[in-house]
Structures are given as structure tokens and as C-alpha cells.
Chain A
Amino acid sequence: MKNIVSILILFFCITKIDAQEFKADISYQYMYAKQWDKAIQTYNFSRPTISNKQPLFMHGANVSLSYIFKSPKHFKHGINLSYTNFTSLASNLNSTNLLLLHFIRLGYMMHYENIEKMKGLYIEAIIAANSSALYRNVNQAAFIYDDTHSKAFNIGAEASLKIGYYLKIKNNFYLSPFVSIAYAPYIYAPNTEAVINQTKSLSNKNWTSISNAQIGIAFHLKK
């Protein structure tokens, strides 16, 4: 993980030189994944001894980095990398069950801004490859069976639309509040139920769709 982050920072530092715009976002993300809801609901339903129910994956924190290529036109394009983290924690007698869900998206971004017509408003559409990893921890330690951490890897694609507004802070530095919605129609998630409900194909399909909405703030460095 450290290596990946280092490479990405290096990449953005180098490419920033020719960038039209370099952008970092932080946001709150609300997520709805029907099949994963179902897995957690089945887990809660089937274990009456759990007095504090396992929460659904709903509220997450997102960070994202974008690089927008130089272009004389209003319509620009770029790349976007984002990371979102969701947790679901239930503490009960003798047992604390923690589900950790990490998303990483790498996408192609279309960015539109028109100072004359739209003032500081900008619109972005992103098509991204979406991969995620789900881990289970029990009693503050990895839940291990057969010498491996209970985990599931998922992959799919996502489309999102973002609207923000530039607020100039310094010469090249802008802030922008933004809202965004996204939809992933198909996330292949064959082992998620196995991690959450400890079954396979009992409550879930091996894929899910995901809808999410974000609200956050972006930091822009423009040339």
C-alpha cells in the first residue's frame, strides 16, 4: 500500500508540471448496495443473540486526486483516482465485529467549465474501474480461519457526475464545494456474503449494484 501511494504521489508531482489543473477532494459519501444490505440484514436476522445489530454500509469518507490535462477548450479531460472507506462496527458481549470496506477507483474524467457562461461552475463526468476489498475483524483482530484473514475482493465499473463551484483563494489556488452522484450497475462480488454472513448464495447474488452520493470540498491548483 505504501508503495502504491508513493508511486501515485510521484506520478502526480511529475505530471503536475504539465497539468492544466491538479485537484484533491475530500468528501462524505452515502452508499446503497442492495445485495450487501441483504447480507448484513441476513446476518442480523439469523443471530438473535446479537443485541447491537451490525450496521449497514452507508456512510463513508472519500479522498480523491485528479489530474486535468491542458486544453484551450472549455471541455477538458483527465484522470481521477479515489479511495473510499466504509466501516460497520457492532460491539456485543464478548464479541466486537468490524467489517472494513475499502474502495479504489481509477477513472477517466471529462471536465467542463466555461467562465463566461457558467461563471465558476464546473461539471465533471467520470467513468471508473471500481475495485474494493472487504475485511472482517473480530475482537480488534483479524478474523482468521485456515490461516487467512476473512476477506473478499470485488470489481466493477462506475459512472459519476459531479457539480462544483470554484472559489478563488490565491492566484492559482481554488477551493470548490461540490456534490456528486454515482452508479455502479454491476460489481462482481462473489465472496462478500461469505465474509459478512458466512454463507454463499444463501441470501445474496454474487454481484451487486451500488448507488452513491457525495458532498465535499475540492482543492484545485490551476496553471
Chain B
Amino acid sequence: MNRLKFIKHSSILSIGGILIPSAILSACRKEDLFNNSNFKGKVIIIGAGAAGIYAGYILKSKGIDFQILEASDTYGGRLGKIDGFADFPLDSGAQWLHGQNNIIGDLIHQTNTKITLDDSDEIFWFNNQLVNSLPKDINALFTREDNLPDVSFKDFAIQEGFGTEYANIVENIAGDSGAAASHISAYWKITEEENWISGDEDFKFEETYFDFFDKHIAATISDKISLNTIVSSIDYSQDMISIKDNNNNTYQADKVIISVPITILKSSDITFTPALPTSKTAAFSKIGMDAGMKVFLKFSTNFYDENIIGGSICAAYADEKIGKTGNSNVLLAFIMGDQAAYLTSLGSDTAITNALLEELDAMYDGEATATFISSYVQNWTTKPFIRGAYSFSTVGMGDARKIAAESIDKKIYFAGEAMNINGHHQTVFGAAETGYREVINILNDQK
């Protein structure tokens, strides 16, 4: 073969062997998961929280018929907003964006939404006095990644030599996960968060988390949400799934995404035909969700510190004005677990407020009562379709979350923050992830 022939042949070989196949392969490789979904059925989503709304948002973008059935008279789930209490809007539910490396962080970039890093200082109520630091670093105890036992935070702290004087500090750490210190597992919390990749910084929205989610996601599908529709039963024994509500209305669907809080699944408010597998119900029961409430206290002066940690009535107070544009002096009492259960047991908003003021008076020499204007109690525990804060990792949890999130018979799918098995449970973006994950699962099952 002479040189010219070789060049000719190798050119043909190159074009034929590399460029043409790569052009064909490039054309075959699509940028989206399902460019031409052949799913023509109807999807019903039960629950209009972040997961359900996000699932609907994705279904709409793919041109798939869907309807969202929401039991309460509003959508958003544990996202909510309080107007008029202060001269800036308040988040009645989810408030902080935990890290920026997540799907909500992406949307924030795309929409030029203003968020502010919350790097406010902490002060501790320790041995009945306010101190800037603790004698021993207890936070490190619960963030270390080795040799964590499957015992509660409370027991683990005691095992590691942190006495009762640290009890309310431990309640605050557990409260970050929406749990009582006696319920959350040191081992499973770290294990379940192994895949957490969102980042460690906390951000606040200038408006509210609800406003952001509503404006950019929920509003696009709000016409598909049926409010005040309390689902009582789901029959998936036939090809078409039959859903009944409390008013005996029946809805038919090919697929159902259930995105109600784990408390609702645990309580068996919705009956299934056939009954859910026992492995499933056992998994539900292992996922924790404790009481939770937020109380906003408005004062005439700002006498308090940015974050007060370690109260026995409320383990975490936070200056609500941080990251907001406004002048109202609002202190948030962020109350979880046993403390929320106790305050709920007091029976009235006034009693709850008085208990908190009494604690703040002890911390700040009576300034709380002296400057108190009004309060707003948002008790998520008594919300009939929520009944708590958010899911957490219990002692002996194992792979309960994974089992709970598995679909049934390619008909019933589970979404919601409690069903996030990728380390982002307890978060709005974690809920959103499960929303699109279940749409992917539906479309994959259709292949």
C-alpha cells in the first residue's frame, strides 16, 4: 500500500469507524431521561406538601395527566407563611435552606432569589446562667463518624460523661433533627446522613421559604390541587386504582404517589386494599416523627441574643429578624420532641406563651414579660394532617426508610421527606427529590 492509498483508506476508516458511529451515537444519546414517555395514564398524588407538589410539577412538564388530593384547606404541607404578625413575613414551617448544593439552591440561582447566610452567634443557658461557650464541646460528640452506638442521643451523652447539666443542650441538638434526645439514634442519624451533600451552611429567604416554593413551583400546578379532600381508602387490587375520600367521592388512577407525612401512614388513617405488606407497616413504625412547634414572640425591644440554646422549656430560641428586612423584634421559640409534647399538653396558646416568657424572664431578668407584645403559636403536632415536625432516625431503625420508600405492585409509590433515602430527609429539597424520583420510577416501570 502506498502512502496516498493509505491516507485514502485511513480517511475512510476514520470517517467510517469513528466519526459516523460517534455522530449516530450522539444522536441516540438524549439529554433527558424520557424524551418520549409512552405513559398515557393518570397519576393521583395524595398530599400537597413539597414532595407531592414537586411530583406534580414534574408530571406537568412531561405532559402527564395528574391530580393532587390534599386533606387540609391549604397546600404546602409543612411549608407555610404568617403575614401581619411582624413587619416581615414569617415562616410557619420550614424556614432554613440547609446548604446550597441541592435542587432548591439551583432554582434560587436561576431565579435570582435573595437568600442570606445565617451565621448568627449562639449563647447557652447552662447551669442557670447565660454563657458564651460550654465547658465541654458536646457538638463534636454527635458529628463524629466512628464508634457511634445505636443508642439515643440522651443515653450516648451520658455514656460519654456529659451530665444532666447538658441535658437541654442535647435536646437542642436532637431538636435540630425534629426529635427528642431520648428518641433519636446516635448511630442511625450519622449513618442516614452519610449521603448528605447539600452543604453545612444555613440560609434564610428574604421573603419566606413558602413564598419561594409557591411562586416558582406550586403556583404552576395549583389548579391541579383539590383541597379539603381527605383520602380514606385506596384499593389497588384492580388494574385501575380506586381512591375514596371522606365524602365518598371516588377517583380512578393508573398510579398513585402517596406523599403524606409518616405520622399519617403510621396511624392507618388510609386503608389499603389489599393491605400493605407487614414489612412496609413495620418500616413505617420505625421511622420517627416527634412533636414540633414554632412560637413567635414579639417584643417592644430586642433584649435577647441571636440564638439562645439550652432552655428547659425551649432548647432553641432564634432572633427571627436575621436575614429579614423589617424592624419588628420577633424571637422564635423552635420547640421539638419532649419539650413540644409538654407545651402541647398545657392545652392553650396562652399557657404555652406564658411558659416561654417565664423561661426568658429567668434568662433576661424579667425583660421578656416587661416588653412582651404578642405571640403566635404554630403547633404542627395538633395539625390533623401533619401531627409532628419531621422524620428522624430512631434507635434500631435499620433500613426502614428504604423499605418504606419501595413502591408496591408498580402502582403505589411513596414520596415525602421521610421517604428520602439519600441523606436529605427532613428537608424541603429532600422532599422534592423524592417527588421527581417517584415520577422517574413510574416512567421506568412503564417501560
Contact = CB atoms under 8 A, between A and B. Distances in A.
A24 interface: no
B264 interface: no
Contact of A198 (B19, B33, B106): B106
Contacts of A92: 110
Contacts of B26: 30, 58-59
Contacts of B101: 143, 145, 150, 194, 198
B422 A200 contact: yes
A202 to B, nearest CB: 5
A202 B14 CA distance: 38
Contacts of A71: none
A138 B110 CA distance: 10
Interface string B34-75: 100000000000000000000001101100000000000000
A119 B1 contact: yes
A114 interface: no
B365 interface: no
B198 A165 contact: no
A45 B32 contact: yes
A179 interface: yes
A35 interface: no
Contacts of B33: 38, 41-42, 44-45
Contact of A32 (B29, B111, B197): B29
Contacts of B102: 198-199
Contacts of B421: 201
A15 interface: no
A165 B6 CA distance: 8
A115 interface: no
Contacts of B144: none
Contacts of B136: none
Interface stretch (A2-10, A49-57, A61-69): A49-57
A221 B426 CA distance: 62
B181 to A, nearest CB: 27
Contacts of B25: 30, 32
A199 B424 contact: yes
Given A40-B31, A48-B57, A56-B29, A200 B197 contact: yes
Interface stretch (B182-190, B353-361, B432-440): B432-440
Chain A CB within 10 A, most for which of B11, B57, B433: B433
A58 B24 CA distance: 12
Interface residues of A, number: 48
Given A41-B31, A41-B32, A46-B58, A201 B422 contact: yes
A214 B421 CA distance: 39
A47 interface: yes
Contact of A146 (B21, B22, B99, B103): B99
B110 A200 contact: no
A54 B29 CA distance: 13
Contact of A47 (B106, B200, B440): B106
Contact of B440 (A45, A58, A200, A214): A45
Contact of B437 (A37, A54, A202): A202
A120 B3 contact: yes
A213 B21 contact: yes
SS of B interface (majority): helix
A32 B109 CA distance: 29
Interface in B166-180: none
B195 interface: yes
Nearest to B436: A46
A200 B436 CA distance: 14
B18 interface: yes
Contact of B105 (A41, A94, A177, A198): A198
Contacts of A50: 110
A215 interface: yes
Contacts of B105: 145, 198
B13 interface: yes
A84 interface: no
B109 A139 contact: yes
A32 B29 CA distance: 9
A37 B29 contact: yes
A38 to B, nearest CB: 8
A151 B231 CA distance: 44
A13 interface: no
B249 interface: no
Contact of A213 (B22, B201, B216): B22
B58 to A, nearest CB: 7
A215 B107 CA distance: 39
Interface string A123-147: 0000000000000001100010110
B17 interface: yes
Chain B CB within 10 A, most for which of A32, A201, A202: A202
B329 to A, nearest CB: 31
A14 interface: no
A145 B107 contact: no
Contacts of B437: 202
Interface of B: 1, 3, 6-7, 10-11, 13-14, 17-19, 21-22, 25-26, 29-34, 57-58, 60-61, 99-103, 105-107, 109-112, 195-201, 216, 421-424, 433, 436-437, 440
11 contacts: A30-B18, A38-B33, A41-B31, A41-B33, A45-B58, A49-B110, A54-B31, A56-B29, A167-B3, A213-B17, A215-B18
Interface of A: 30, 32, 37-38, 40-42, 44-50, 53-56, 58-59, 92-95, 119-121, 138-139, 143, 145-146, 150, 165, 167, 177, 179, 191, 194, 198-203, 213-215
